[in-house]
Amino acid sequence: MDRNCQNCDKPAEAPWTLCKTCRRGYARLLHRLRVNLHLLQAVARREYRLSEPGAGGRPQGGDAPAPINLHAQDMLDQTEDGLQDMWNETGVESRPRWQALLRDAPRRLPDLCRASRSGHWLTWLIHACERIEPLIDRRPRTRRIIGVCPECGREVLAAKGETLLLCKCGNPINVAELREQSQAKAETIHLTKTPAGMSQWLRENYGYEVSRKVIIMWIRRGKLPSSKPVEDGYYEFSIREIVSMAMAYSNRQ
């Protein structure tokens, strides 16, 4: 009997409770969590210190730092509990340590993706990674708009390598799919802005530094044939056109 994926509601063939895309996402999340937990363990043991001020690494007032970082240790314990519960639902009664569980993950994946609450656990994995990453990631990850949530219309931001996300409204987002849909949509979308406003929009949404002057020059030289002047210095820009120009321009910089 066919049923729907617990995560994205697309059809999923029996005996799976997740569709193929979400099963792949599940595998990637387990791998990501494994890497995260090893780093978190190093943070907890203070073998690895965050460099930014205020991130917890600096001893205050000459006091020696605590031998373990309790916040990191708590998070490690909580995550281990969650993983043990997750494995319980595939019939593993003992509660092995997280290292053993995640080493076993590739072999256990088919059972996890057939479990009765696989959608719940997929969401839990996303949240667990999102809670841990600020504690272990020294470099702030650059997130870019990839499109708009089909449920609530919020802009969705993703960093490189992210495949599944949760929108603030709770809707699970398949990054590759949304990116594709948004590209198709951007072909027809226009935005009315001044060149200065467009310069700001490109910087905020895509991280491209293109000055107002450069945009005006593109308009004068006919590099934006689908963008039309409206009135009072405003133009109707074709997003696809201006974004591809900005992309090429920033690659040359």
Distance CA 184, CA 250 (A): 22
166 or 196, CB closer to Zn ion?
Answer: 166
19 lines the binding site for Zn ion (CB under 5 A): yes
Question: In whole angstroms, how close is the CB of 35 to Zn ion at the nearest point?
Answer: 23
Nearest CA to 135 out of 62, 72, 211, 225 is that of 72
Which member of 81, 85, 151, 236 binds Zn ion (CB under 5 A)? Answer: 151
19 or 135, CB closer to Zn ion?
Answer: 19
Residue 84 near residue 112 (C-beta atoms within 8 A): no
29 lines the binding site for Zn ion (CB under 5 A): no
49 or 120, CB closer to Zn ion?
Answer: 120
Residue 174 near residue 21 (C-beta atoms within 8 A): yes
202 lines the binding site for Zn ion (CB under 5 A): no
230 lines the binding site for Zn ion (CB under 5 A): no
Which member of 17, 22, 193, 201 binds Zn ion (CB under 5 A)? Answer: 22
Which member of 73, 84, 123, 171 binds Zn ion (CB under 5 A)? Answer: 171
Strand partners for 182: none
Which member of 169, 184, 189, 247 binds Zn ion (CB under 5 A)? Answer: 169
Distance CA 5, CA 18 (A): 4
C-beta pairs of 53-56 under 8 Å, 24+ apart in sequence:
56/135
CB neighbour list of residue 56: distance below 8 Å, 6 or more residues apart = 50, 69, 71, 135
7 lines the binding site for Zn ion (CB under 5 A): yes
> What's the gap between Cα 11 and its chain centre?
24
Which member of 126, 146, 149, 224 binds Zn ion (CB under 5 A)? Answer: 149
Binding site for Zn ion (CB under 5 A): 5, 7-8, 19, 22, 149, 151-152, 154, 167, 169, 171
